[in-house]
């Protein structure tokens, strides 16, 4: 594996891939979102409830590469319990650092593990897959 690709699979990514947080189906969720990347085949469902404008019981289930699965795991960890506005701000911050090279100092530590993906533009969709679908869904609820 080339050195650049080794950077992608840092300890954080491997851990969240093998032991994902909030991984499981929740068929009775208020909201179920299907996230799919036809280019690589990554496919996840996101499950969550909204209570008093807060995202609760956010979980995911499906399959994909280590990067997309780890990203979904960390997303659920960071977003659970947040208001819709707070969740969208975290999403926007993450994408501005990842896509626009904005200042990474305010980025939560867990998300910094994905910064090497900037060297591999074809893998950015893997990182943002579940984030994109969740933010699109939350924005449509406003």
Residue 111's CATH number: 3.90.1010.10
pLDDT in tens, 12-68: 899 999 999 999 999 999 999 999 999 999 999 999 999 999 999 999 999 999 999
Helix 66-79 to helix 84-100 angle, to the nearest 10 degrees? 140
> Residue 90: its pLDDT value, please?
96
Residue 88's domain comprises 3-141
Enumerate the β-bridge partners of residue 36: 43
Confidence of residue 6 (pLDDT cuts 50, 70, 90): low
Per-residue pLDDT, averaged over 103-126, amounts to 86
Higher pLDDT, 110 or 90: 90
Per the structure, the count of domains in the chain is 1
Taking phi over 0 as left and psi of -120 to 50 as alpha, with beta for the rest, 81 belongs to: left
């Amino acid at each position: 594996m080339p050195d650049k690709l080794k950077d992608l699979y840092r300890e954080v990514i491997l851990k969240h891939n093998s032991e994902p947080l909030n991984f499981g189906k929740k068929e009775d969720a208020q909201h179920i979102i299907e996230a799919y990347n036809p280019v690589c085949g990554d496919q996840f469902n996101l499950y969550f409830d909204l209570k008093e404008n807060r995202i609760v019981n956010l979980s995911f289930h499906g399959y994909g590469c280590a990067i997309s699965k780890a990203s979904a795991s960390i997303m659920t960890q960071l977003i659970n319990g947040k208001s819709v506005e707070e969740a969208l701000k975290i999403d926007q911050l993450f994408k501005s650092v990842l896509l626009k090279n904005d200042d990474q100092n305010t980025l939560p530590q867990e998300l910094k593990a994905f910064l090497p993906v900037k060297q591999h533009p074809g893998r950015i969709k893997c990182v943002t897959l579940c984030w994109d679908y969740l933010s699109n869904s939350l924005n449509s609820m406003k």
